[in-house]
Amino acid sequence: MKVLVVGGGGREHALVWKLKQSPRVKEIFCAPGNAGIASLARCVPIGAEDISGLVAFARQEKIDLTVVGPEGPLTMGIVDSFNEAGLAIFGPNARAAAIEGSKVLAKELMAKYGIPTARFATFSDAGEAVAYIRQLNAPCVVKADGLAAGKGVVVCRTVEEALEAVGDIMVKGVFGAAGSRVVVEEYLTGQEVSILAFTDGKTVIPMLPAQDHKQVYDGDQGPNTGGMGAYAPAPVCTPEVYQTALEKILIPTVRAMAAEGRPYRGVLYAGLMVTDEGAKVLEFNARFGDPEAQPVLMLLETDLVEIIEAVLSGRLAEKEIRWRPGAAVCVVLASAGYPGPYRKGYPISGLDRVPPDVMVFHAGTALEDGRVVTAGGRVLGVTAAAGTIAAAIEKAYAAVEQIHFEGMHYRRDIGRKALSASKIR
Ligand code: AMP
Ligand code: GLY
């Protein structure tokens, strides 16, 4: 079959890498892709949000299956457009992807169906949000309703910070229409875990639990990023947390979406905080996480094409999903300045010195005169699997040492929380 992957980051490189291993896949395309993806797939210069361009390409090339990486095209309705054109595509349609596209919708759904989450209220009036913040007190969290490139969540230590966040989002409109409504919620403490699940709208099969590292510096310091690294499986997801996530969160959410006339098919990502009172939902995403997909897909043994076909035909219940033993770690190498402004175009050296069983998934790279150069904030995701988390960490960091580009920075503690957790047990 001919497969098209939509997107051009580290997650999409991992998706292409995994899909290409399927004996069913004869030819693979990626739109728009990047320099790393170009070594596995034919990259086509169509933007991930150019939905009519993608439909036209899929028709012309007679693509048998399209797999969507990012949330933008999903919330814009790429799945609806492909379905109308009679083209097979994996992901939720626009009404279902709204679980990520509108935080107000996600929170109201959780409240209505008793799915555990932080206490909250939603506002379309800045004055009312301010009054609620004064009553709730700090710390609290202010979230823009819509998509804001991962920047729409402000964790506020003081009431003043929260009022400023409301001013920025609702009055100044720094995120545009995405900020016309906000969620204000209680601040939760604990460890975070990402549980992604495959679902055909009836059956829910979780993947291995993963942990992201959102802050830019070691020890979870500094501003939030798109994710500086991830590993799986995450020991913070004990059997109890796993059961809660499945029975109180993932299954009820899939049922609730169906009951609301938003049947959900694809990957449902639950971002959870494991608190003293159990796991609570921080957010839902309508797709694979980036960088969680990199370690999780490295450990997936089952053919991803077969899983996707089971989802599309509504027969996921018949599918058994197998995982490799051990653990995998992804260390993100970022440009100087990221998550703030950064420069692009620096040559990357040492990629040829990385051992073949370590995958360097490209996030923001481009080819310039035959050389691989930096082209984004997150540049590479060095991903290694091994029998234990400690061995996977060592293997990933040994490969990181081979790679260099001007201003390269990365966290040195990816996966460390898993080590301390396994010592406690
Ligand atoms: P979100 O995009 O909703 O996952 O938020 C981004 C990050 O903000 C999360 O990964 C958490 O680190 C943090 N966050 C979001 N909501 C809360 C909350 N209620 N309490 C504490 N931290 C939160
Ligand atoms: N790693 C967080 C996300 O993909 O949203």
Tens-place pLDDT, residues 95-112: 999 999 999 999 999 999
Average pLDDT over residues 256-282: 97
Give the Å distance between the CA of 10 and the centre of ligand 1: 22
Q: Is residue 32 domain-shared with residue 141, that is, in the same domain? A: no
Residues 200 and 303 in one domain: yes
**186 in any annotated domain:** no
pLDDT for residue 424:
42
Which is the closest atom of ligand 1 to the Cα of 189?
21
User: In the predicted model, is pLDDT for residue 425 greater than 50?
Assistant: no
Ligand nearest, relative to CA of residue 11: 2
Tell me: do 24 and 71 sit in the same domain.
yes
Atom of ligand 2 nearest to the CA of 11: 4
- Output the pLDDT for position 423: 47
Question: 209 C-alpha to center of ligand 2: Å?
Answer: 13
Using left for φ > 0, alpha for ψ between -120 and 50, and beta otherwise, residue 6 falls in: beta
**CATH for 152:** 3.30.1490.20
Centre of ligand 2 from the C-alpha of residue 378, in Å: 13
Mean pLDDT, the chain, integer: 96
245 lies in the same domain as 289: yes
At residue 139, the pLDDT reads 96
Q: Which of 91, 107, 138 is the last residue of a domain?
A: 91
**Number of compact structural domains in the chain:** 4
Domain boundary among 263, 285, 318: 318
The protein residue whose alpha carbon is closest to atom 16 in ligand 1 is: 282
Ligand 1 pocket residue status of 148, Cβ below 6 Å: no
**How far apart are the C-alpha atoms of 128 and 211, rounded to whole Å?**
35
Q: What is the mean pLDDT of residues 240-262?
A: 97
Find out whether the beta carbon of 329 lies less than 6 Å from any atom of ligand 1: no
Residue 309 has a pLDDT of 98
The pLDDT of residue 422: 53
Bridge partners of 186?
Answer: 140
**Structure confidence at residue 213 (pLDDT):** 96
Residue 150: is its pLDDT beyond 80? no
Going by pLDDT thresholds of 50, 70 and 90, the confidence category of residue 421 is low
Condensed to tens digits (0 to 9), the pLDDT of residues 325-369 reads 999 999 999 999 999 999 999 999 999 999 999 999 999 999 999
Domain assignment of residue 162, yes or no: yes
User: Is residue 312 located within the same domain as residue 337?
Assistant: no
Which of 290, 297, 414 to mutate for ligand 2's pocket (most ligand atoms within 8 Å of CB)?
290
Rounded mean pLDDT of 380-388?
Answer: 98
Ligand 2 in contact with 100 (CB < 6 A)? no
Q: Is 227 in the pocket of ligand 2 (CB under 6 A)?
A: yes
Closest residue (by CA) to atom 2 of ligand 2?
A: 289
CA atoms of 295 and 321, how far apart (whole Å): 16
Residues 310, 196 share a domain:
yes
- The CATH number that applies at residue 335 is 3.90.600.10
Which of 212, 215, 330 is the pocket-test mutation for ligand 2 (most atoms within 8 Å of CB)? 212
Question: pLDDT, tens digit, for every residue of 46-99?
Answer: 999 999 999 999 999 999 999 999 999 999 999 999 999 999 999 999 999 999
pTM score, whole prediction: 0.96
| Per-residue pLDDT band at 224 (split at 50, 70, 90) | confident
In a domain, 139, yes or no: yes
In a domain? residue 221: yes
Q: Are residues 345 and 409 in the same domain?
A: yes
Q: Are residues 305 and 195 in the same domain?
A: yes
* Assigned domain for 117 exists: no
Residue 109 lies in a domain: no
151 band by pLDDT with thresholds 50, 70 and 90 = confident
> Per-residue pLDDT averaged across 31-47, rounded?
98
Beta-bridged to residue 231, according to DSSP, are 211, 329
Q: Is residue 116 part of a domain?
A: no
Q: Could you tell me if 248 and 151 lie in one domain?
A: no
Q: Let me know whether 401 and 361 are in one domain.
A: yes
- Taking the CA of residue 288 as reference, the ligand 2 atom at the shortest distance is 4
> Does any ligand 2 atom lie closer than 6 A to the CB of residue 285?
yes
pLDDT value of residue 420: 80
Residues 290 and 208 reside in one and the same domain: yes
- CB of 212 shorter than 6 A to ligand 2: yes
Q: Is residue 425 part of a domain?
A: no
The pLDDT of residue 294 is above 50: yes
Q: Can you give the residue range of the structural domain that contains 286?
A: 191-318
pLDDT bucket at 258, cuts 50 / 70 / 90: very high
- Measure 282 CA to ligand 1 centroid, in angstroms: 6
Mean pLDDT of 276-283: 95
* Ligand 2 atom at minimum distance from 212 CA: 1
From ligand 2's centre to the CA of 212, what distance in Å?
8
Residue 44 contacts residue 33 (beta carbons within 8 Å): yes
Q: Would the CB of 147 count as within 6 Å of ligand 1?
A: no
- Span 225-229, average pLDDT: 94
Q: Are residues 345 and 309 in the same domain?
A: no
214 C-beta closer than 6 A to ligand 1: yes
Of 288, 318, 348, which residue is a domain's last?
318
Ligand 2: residue of 192, 282, 292, 296 to mutate (most ligand atoms within 8 A of CB) is 292
How many angstroms separate the CA atoms of 336 and 62, rounded?
A: 42
Residue 10: partners with Cβ closer than 8 Å, 6 or more residues away: 290, 291, 293, 294, 330, 332, 361, 362, 363, 378, 380, 381
Phi-psi region of 393 (alpha: psi -120 to 50; beta: other; left: phi over 0): alpha
pLDDT in tens, 159-207: 999 999 999 999 899 998 999 999 999 999 999 999 999 999 999 999 9
271 lines ligand 1 (CB under 6 A): yes
CB of residue 373 inside a 6 A radius of ligand 1:
no
Say how many Å lie between the CA of residue 224 and the centre of ligand 1.
10
Q: Tokens for 278?
A: 């159990």
Query: Look-up: residue for tokens 């984004």?
Result: 376
